[in-house]
């Protein structure tokens, strides 16, 4: 079976080759090397979060039955121009860089790698929550600047202990469940809101309404996928329902939050602090209001960046390719209707 490995700087050729050959040692492999994460991805034609030249990808796909990729753009044009292609295996939590409708129309299966960076993102989210609670980045910068403030032991300026707090987790999937378990291990009371999960008792979290979660939580951390219903779910109205002095963390998706409303809430003294790995614009313009708002901790959308996340993604994708090679249905199929 002919397989194109379309690698990049995160899902490297070595990582993908190791995973694929462990599943299919006799695969006939061709290679296309991309440059992501530099420059960053963006929109390519009608697909999102992609990087690469359509014509170069079309040329590389000639005669290829399967392709495993991470960020290359599988547009209508690319898919329509690749008649030999039967399976696109994408090494990410959602195949946003694939035109699923076009793939289905042309009889091409699309698989993906759910949960590939769940542990990495959960660990980063916890780190951001702690950093916001104790203002670690801000104190670090003060020390670098030669400052040694002695008033942070003043009662009003001291940080909050997670283990003595209530933590609200919005979204109880692979990432949110891990965050909840870590928070529980700290000793926190954990509340969960997830409209797509059946309420249950797992000994870790209490299922509550969003309103109850916001009203009772000292920390709110977001782990939901974006839908039409939850865009700007954190807005002026919902921020007002949060406890005074609460902290907000978003390592999920930028559109979940109205960032102007967050700035207003921090400036008014209602929201104490925030930590964001996902932003309204990436990168932020130098004059963006968020950068002028105090007590916000930032990272540049890297919560899922770990070497193990890369290896896990490659293993999931390769297992689905091996299933296809055996004549079986890939486990993580984005368009199962193509089989009809």
Active site residue 301: yes
Active site residue 253: yes
Give Cβ neighbours of residue 180 (< 8 Å, ≥ 6 apart).
167, 169, 172, 190, 192, 204, 205
Cβ-in-10-Å burial (0-12, 13-18, 19+) of 199 comes to exposed
Q: Which of 201, 197, 158, 152 shows the shortest CA–CA distance to 176?
A: 197
Active site residue 31: no
Task: Give me the catalytic one of 282, 292, 308, 328.
Answer: 282
> Greatest CA separation found in the chain?
69
Q: What is the distance in angstroms between the CA of the first residue and the CA of the last residue of the chain?
A: 23
Please report the sign of the dihedral spanned by the C-alpha atoms of residue 269, residue 270, residue 275, residue 281: negative
Please report the sign of the dihedral spanned by the C-alpha atoms of residue 79, residue 35, residue 120, residue 164: negative
Length reported for the chain: 340
Task: Give me the catalytic one of 134, 301, 315, 332.
Answer: 301
Give SS3 for 43.
strand
Give SS3 for 251.
coil
Rounded CA-CA distance 252/278 in Å is 7
From start to end of the chain, where are the E strands? 2-7, 28-33, 42-44, 47-50, 66-69, 87-90, 109-111, 166-170, 189-193, 206-207, 219-222, 246-250, 271-276, 296-298
Question: Tokens 């014509």 identify what position?
Answer: 55
Check whether the bond before 37 is cis (ω within 30° of 0). Answer: yes
Task: Give me the catalytic one of 139, 253, 270, 295.
Answer: 253
Which helix (H) or strand (E) segment holds residue 134: the answer is helix 118-134
Residues tagged active-site: 253, 282, 301
């Amino acid at each position: 079976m002919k397989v194109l490995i379309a690698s990049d700087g995160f899902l490297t050729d070595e990582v993908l080759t190791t995973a694929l050959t462990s599943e299919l040692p006799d695969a006939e492999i061709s290679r296309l090397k991309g440059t992501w994460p530099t420059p960053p991805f963006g929109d390519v034609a009608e697909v999102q979060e992609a990087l690469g030249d359509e014509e170069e990808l079309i040329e590389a796909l000639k005669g290829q039955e399967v392709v495993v990729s991470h960020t290359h753009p599988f547009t209508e044009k690319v898919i329509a121009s690749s008649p030999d292609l039967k399976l696109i295996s994408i090494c990410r939590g959602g195949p946003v860089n694939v035109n699923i409708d076009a793939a289905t129309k042309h009889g091409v299966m699309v698989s993906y790698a759910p949960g590939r960076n769940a542990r990495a993102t959960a660990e980063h989210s916890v780190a951001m929550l702690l950093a916001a609670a104790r203002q670690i980045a801000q104190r670090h910068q003060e020390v670098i600047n030669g400052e040694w403030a002695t008033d942070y032991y003043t009662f009003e300026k001291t940080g909050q202990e997670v283990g003595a707090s209530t933590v609200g987790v919005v979204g109880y999937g692979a990432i949110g469940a891990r965050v909840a378990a870590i928070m529980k291990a700290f000793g926190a009371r954990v509340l969960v809101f997830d409209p797509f999960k059946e309420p249950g008792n797992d000994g870790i979290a209490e299922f509550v309404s969003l309103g109850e979660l916001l009203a009772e939580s000292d920390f709110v951390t977001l782990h939901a996928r974006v839908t039409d219903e939850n865009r700007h779910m954190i807005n002026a109205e919902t921020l007002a329902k949060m406890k005074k002095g609460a902290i907000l963390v978003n390592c999920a998706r930028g559109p979940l939050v109205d960032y102007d409303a967050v700035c207003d809430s921090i400036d008014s003294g209602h929201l104490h602090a925030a930590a964001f790995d996902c932003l309204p614009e990436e990168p932020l313009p130098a004059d963006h209001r968020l950068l002028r708002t105090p007590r916000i901790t930032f990272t540049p959308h890297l919560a899922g960046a770990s070497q193990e996340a890369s290896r896990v993604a490659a293993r999931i994708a390769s297992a689905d390719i091996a299933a296809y090679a055996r004549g079986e249905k890939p486990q993580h199929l984005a368009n199962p209707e193509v089989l009809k």
